[in-house]
Chain A
Amino acid sequence: MADAYMGKILKVDLGSGVIEEESIPDSVYEKFLSGSGLGGFILYNRIPAGADPLGPDNIMGFVSGLLTGTGSLFTGRWMAMAKSPLTGGYGESNCGGNLSPAIKRCGYDGIFFSGISEKPVYLYISGAKAELKDASDLWGKDAIETENILLERHSSGRKPRVACIGQAGERLSLIAGISNDLGRMAARSGLGAVMGAKRLKAIVLGGSKKIASHDKDAMKALSAGCNKWVQFQPWFLSGNGLRFLGMILRYLPFQTAMDGMLFKIMLTKWGTVSLNQYSIEIGDSPVKNWAGSNLDFPKALSDSIGPDRIKARETAKYHCYSCPLGCGGICSGPSLAGETHKPEYETVTALGALLLNNDLESLFLLNDKLNRAGMDTISAGVTAAFAFECFEKGILTEKETDGLKLKWGDSRALVSLIDKMIAREGIGDILADGVKRAAEKIGKNADCYAMHSGGQELSMHDARFDPGFGLHYTTEPTPGRHTIGSQMYYEMYRLWKRVPGLSRPWLVYSKKSKYRVNRKKILWAVACSRFINVLNGAGGCAFGAFIGVDRFPVFEWLNAATGWNRTPLDYMAVGKRIQAMKQAFNLKHGLDPASIRPNPRAVGSPPAEKGANKGRDLDLDKMVADYWSESGWNTKTGVPGADTAADFTNV
């Protein structure tokens, strides 16, 4: 067995209560790494076709990264995966916090749950013992309360690490996520509902096993090199200066390639909220349920939620395990009961600009409420924006909303609506399952305003600003996500520095050229998908990868940690294999990739009449066909070719 991985998984059958270990052959790690790859491999092979995502046949995994605990930096991400009740296909969510090393310290690369427990339970592992414990007293409690109780209850030795659901997951809200380290969320794919359906309230991991690393000195040297880049932090603009920069860039007819060091500097200073105003000005943030533009949320409105305003509420920086950057923050405020995680850009925009809401206090409150309930802030915001637009169009009236007047920008109405969604009360019951289900139930062409792709609510990056987002929102086996690729992400990953055959983007290019589909850009998108599968197999944070693979040496770390001697191209082939396997998962479960498209509004159909993205549209059909072709998949059906399929089935 190579170093870096534990070589075992733990299987828990919640129906029978049987808990057993299983050794995983080296060949699986060699072909799929750990994390997303190992999890995908187990799910693809073991969930029967057509399984009900909320039924006993679904398998829910919590998997660590191959590099987690080996001395590398930015590599403390863990992944939850199961068949998604939201999309009906492969579901996965990725989170930082402190759980990833804890999985390995229990002696496993992943923990997989099947079956349904009769009563609420949690899994507790300490020393050599793994046991299911009664969670009846925790059922009904929010995620923060639950974690605090469990930490207190199991405080005798080393402090355990906890992942748990709140009330949203218990109530099977299809946009429920999983919380770790008091409110860091594995939010997407609706995996909190899978835990809720299994009556699995939490996992509590208290192991202290060693995690081996093949060449510790090499790992340290690589980490020291990476850390130098991370600690480089020159003077930088104020929040308002950054907004102004976004505005200037909007007016220019050309664009410069993004060096992720600039974003790193922004992340170090403010975290992701650095984008709060910059992204609105430049056209990256969707506004007013994607029907508006930067003109609807000008400086006069956005100033109150600017990066400096949020930073002023930060009492300490928060670092996920093994992170030298610390983009997170701990905040407090008058509307909050205690400390809370700093809201992220995605949250602020989904509950802010998307609803024309600029009430900062409401954003802190909603972020805290949703983290406690364990509901995805992106999906909750998108679904609320849908309801607000339905109200504007007369599709929903005060009769359906129990008297709530859903007027754009009304933060009080928004807070009440989110409360209803969490409690599944009245209209909230319909909205708690996300925007696709809600539109189906409401009818009256409400689906025109439902901003999702394949059932997953779209993230807060406008495909009309960066067409790469549109392509990945469509073609990924987990559609609608912003965490995989875009043209700008390709520029930041700097893959051409390590992977032969990949091209370097122009330093300066015309904005118009972004919308021209050509082979080069499709190859970039395919490379982003493959690379992210490698990164998610390694447990790496995308913000680390954004400084570029020459400065964030993920390929070199993988070799030094395992003792393998593989080239970056070899690793990209692993990424290709994982991507095809996830696509095959979706096909096995009856999804038709050709039918998955984001809401046309998101890709400029019809094009916006004003604002930063005026007149822009995407030739999505051609982009998708070309992406499938370059992936070695059928250009009409998205089915991976026979040779690609053989590659992940023969292990």
Chain B
Amino acid sequence: MANKKSHSYPSITLADCIACLMCVDVCPTGALDIVTRNGARGFRRYPCLSFADKCVSCAACKFECPTGAIFMKQEVAEAAEEEM
């Protein structure tokens, strides 16, 4: 597991997210959960880094995402930022 300094977290660009939830499913630790948000296409169940403490920075979610909506960032993105 990465130490705090080199730790990076997924940041989800809601505008690009199609709510397929493949990232939630692939996350081995359960760091990502599902939250209802008002995204670019109305209220949907979107992925959310609900348990950042569980994230091990493996980036599996980023590689799984079919639309490139996930970027790894050094800090935990705020919900507002995710919504752009």
Chain A residues in contact with chain B, CB under 8 A? 69, 71, 73, 98, 101-102, 105, 157-159, 208, 216, 220, 223-224, 227, 230-231, 315-319, 321-324, 326, 330
Additional A-B contact list (9), CB under 8 Å, known A158-B29, A231-B18, A326-B44: A73-B66, A157-B29, A208-B28, A227-B67, A317-B42, A317-B45, A319-B21, A324-B66, A330-B36
Q: Would B44 and A227 count as touching, CB distance under 8 A?
A: no
Measured between beta carbons, the chain B residues less than 8 angstroms from A319 are 19-21, 44-45
Sort chain B's interface into a size bin.
20 to 34
Sample (21) of A-B pairs whose CB atoms are under 8 Å apart: A69-B25, A102-B25, A157-B29, A157-B30, A158-B29, A159-B30, A159-B33, A208-B28, A224-B67, A227-B67, A230-B18, A231-B18, A316-B44, A317-B19, A317-B43, A319-B20, A321-B20, A321-B22, A321-B25, A322-B20, A324-B20
A399 shortest CB reach to chain B, Å:
49
Measured between beta carbons, the chain A residues less than 8 angstroms from B18 are 227, 230-231, 324
A126 shortest CB reach to chain B, Å:
11
Of chain B, the residue at the smallest CB distance from A318 is B45
Interface presence of B83 (CB below 8 A): no
Measured between beta carbons, the chain B residues less than 8 angstroms from A73 are 20, 66
Q: Would B21 and A321 count as touching, CB distance under 8 A?
A: yes
User: Given that A158-B27, A326-B44 are contacting pairs, would A315 and B36 also be in contact in the complex, using a CB cutoff of 8 Å?
Assistant: yes
Cα distance A279–B32 in the bound complex, in angstroms: 40
Interface presence of B64 (CB below 8 A): yes
Cα distance A323–B29 in the bound complex, in angstroms: 22
Measured between beta carbons, the chain A residues less than 8 angstroms from B30 are 157-159
Cα distance A262–B3 in the bound complex, in angstroms: 51
Q: Would B20 and A98 count as touching, CB distance under 8 A?
A: no
User: Given that A319-B20, A321-B22 are contacting pairs, would A71 and B66 also be in contact in the complex, using a CB cutoff of 8 Å?
Assistant: yes
Q: Would B45 and A316 count as touching, CB distance under 8 A?
A: yes
Measured between beta carbons, the chain A residues less than 8 angstroms from B21 are 98, 319, 321-322
Measured between beta carbons, the chain A residues less than 8 angstroms from B41 are 317
Q: Which of B28, B36, B44, B64 contacts A158 (CB 8 A)?
A: B28
Q: Would A224 and B44 count as touching, CB distance under 8 A?
A: no
Q: Would A317 and B44 count as touching, CB distance under 8 A?
A: yes
Q: Would A315 and B25 count as touching, CB distance under 8 A?
A: no
Q: Would B27 and A223 count as touching, CB distance under 8 A?
A: no
A231 shortest CB reach to chain B, Å:
7
Of chain A, the residue at the smallest CB distance from B29 is A158
Q: Which of B26, B29, B44, B66 contacts A223 (CB 8 A)?
A: B66
Q: Would A101 and B19 count as touching, CB distance under 8 A?
A: no
Measured between beta carbons, the chain A residues less than 8 angstroms from B27 are 158
B21 shortest CB reach to chain A, Å:
6
Of chain B, the residue at the smallest CB distance from A69 is B25
**Closest A-B pairs by Cβ, 3 of them:** A158-B30, A208-B28, A316-B43
Cα distance A231–B25 in the bound complex, in angstroms: 22
User: Given that A223-B66, A227-B67, A317-B44 are contacting pairs, would A322 and B29 also be in contact in the complex, using a CB cutoff of 8 Å?
Assistant: no
Cα distance A71–B60 in the bound complex, in angstroms: 12
Of chain A, the residue at the smallest CB distance from B43 is A316
Fill in one digit per residue for B50-84: 1 if any A CB lies within 8 Å of its CB, else 0: 00000000000001101100000000000000000
Q: Which of A69, A157, A330 contacts B45 (CB 8 A)?
A: A330
A500 shortest CB reach to chain B, Å:
30
A2 shortest CB reach to chain B, Å:
20
Measured between beta carbons, the chain A residues less than 8 angstroms from B63 are 216
Q: Select the residue from B19, B25, B42 with max chain A CB neighbours within 10 A.
A: B25
Measured between beta carbons, the chain A residues less than 8 angstroms from B42 are 317
Of chain B, the residue at the smallest CB distance from A158 is B30
Cα distance A326–B43 in the bound complex, in angstroms: 11
Cα distance A315–B37 in the bound complex, in angstroms: 10
Of chain B, the residue at the smallest CB distance from A104 is B25
A369 shortest CB reach to chain B, Å:
23
A518 shortest CB reach to chain B, Å:
41
Measured between beta carbons, the chain B residues less than 8 angstroms from A102 are 25
A436 shortest CB reach to chain B, Å:
39
Q: Would A227 and B66 count as touching, CB distance under 8 A?
A: yes
Measured between beta carbons, the chain A residues less than 8 angstroms from B33 are 159
B22 shortest CB reach to chain A, Å:
5
B13 shortest CB reach to chain A, Å:
15
Measured between beta carbons, the chain B residues less than 8 angstroms from A321 are 20-22, 25
B49 shortest CB reach to chain A, Å:
14
Measured between beta carbons, the chain B residues less than 8 angstroms from A69 are 25-26
Cα distance A507–B73 in the bound complex, in angstroms: 51
Measured between beta carbons, the chain A residues less than 8 angstroms from B45 are 316-319, 330
